[in-house]
Amino acid sequence: MKITGRTRLAGIMGWPVAHSRSPAMHNFWLEEQGIDGAYVPLPVRPEQLEHALRALPALGFRGCNLTIPHKQLALSIIDRVEPLARRIGAVNTIIIAPDGSLEGRNTDAFGFRETLRETVPDWKPASGPAVVLGAGGAARAVVAALIEARVREIRLINRTEARAELLARALANPSSRITVLPWSDRDRALAEAGLLVNTTSLGMAEEPALEIDLALLSLSAIVVDIVYVPLETALLAAARQRGHRVVDGLGMLLHQGRPGFEAWFGAPVRVTRELRAAVLTTLNNPH
């Protein structure tokens, strides 16, 4: 990479931020497209988030991504929040307008939709209820995408049921019924489902395993895990062994980066096998 006086800048703010795979992804695209640009990790403490965001236009940045713990806090700092990000309750992409104002978007729902479209293009929202495990920020984005796809019934299951109730209320929509079920009902909830999505951190490296019995899940159902370290979680391995089609979490991570890149650097990008390989290398060799 060559830095010139005209290099376009974007980055990711987080605390910590060193674990983020976004620099590998965006710099891969910059190089692939031959764009004079750079995407840098920006370690920013939560108490400095407002200063850091407000400094971006002065520093000539086109925008940035936000990761833990800034995604919710940013809502109260920036100038405009797109309605979807407001409903999801989190902003992961900031775009700086020509007048220096900050606009916030959430591209996780887009990332989820696009990874399904790419991996299981024949999935039909009408194929049966969708079971979603978890009620954090990722679950909100997944549920928003399922509502947008017009899935008629979403069975939402979280260890802390009250959090699932809050999510169901925040995203309530006449075209999709969100049924909140207790965590202990997760095996039974799989009956007739067309899609199962794990959005919890269970199954992630160094986290406890997700304990779930897939026996009642129809073999035509698709199983998605948004965890991507490891890429093949125990859930996906068990589902694959039973004959389900499975979708890993890397696709959602990569697709969610596209709208930001396109807004900052002005070029459309694709999720290719080469990109997956480049980001996978960083997953296998952290830091």
Torsion of Cα atoms, 244 then 240 then 235 then 23, to 10°: -100
Which of these, 161, 157, 160, 159, lies nearest to 142 by C-alpha position?
Answer: 157
Closest CB to ligand ATR: residue number: 136
Chain centroid to Cα 270, Å, comes to 16
- Cβ–Cβ < 8 Å for 269, 261: yes
Query: Is 124 one of the catalytic residues?
Result: no
- Binding segment for ligand ATR (CB under 6 A), chosen from 158-166, 233-241, 250-258, 267-275, is 158-166
* Cβ-based nearer residue to ligand ATR, 22 or 199: 199
Among 8, 86, 159, 177, binds ligand ATR (CB under 6 A): 159
* Cβ-based nearer residue to ligand ATR, 176 or 199: 199
Taking CA 68 as the corner, what is the angle to CA 35 and CA 118, rounded to the nearest 5 degrees?
55
When asked if residue 138 is in the footprint of ligand ATR (CB under 6 A), the reply is yes
**Which 174-203 positions form the footprint of ligand ATR (CB under 6 A)?**
199-202
User: What DSSP assignment string belongs to 31-73?
Assistant: HHHT-SEEEEEEE--GGGHHHHHHHHHHHTEEEEEE-TTSTTG
Q: How far is the CB of 96 from ligand ATR (least distance, A)?
A: 25
* Cβ-based nearer residue to ligand ATR, 81 or 278: 81
Chain centroid to Cα 7, Å, comes to 28
Among 100, 208, 266, 268, binds ligand ATR (CB under 6 A): 208
Structure-token pair, residue 192 = 């007739």
* Cβ-based nearer residue to ligand ATR, 158 or 176: 158
Instruction: Give me the 116-135 binding string for ligand ATR, x by CB under 6 A, dash otherwise.
Output: ------------------xx
Q: Quote the CA–CA distance of 229 and 3 in Å, as a whole number.
A: 32
Crossing angle of helices 22-33/258-265, nearest 10°? 50
Catalytic entry in 26, 62, 70, 71: 71
- Compute how many residues bind ligand ATR; rule: CB under 6 A: 15
Q: Which residues are catalytic?
A: 71
Give the binding site for ligand ATR (CB under 6 A): 134-139, 158-160, 163, 199-202, 208
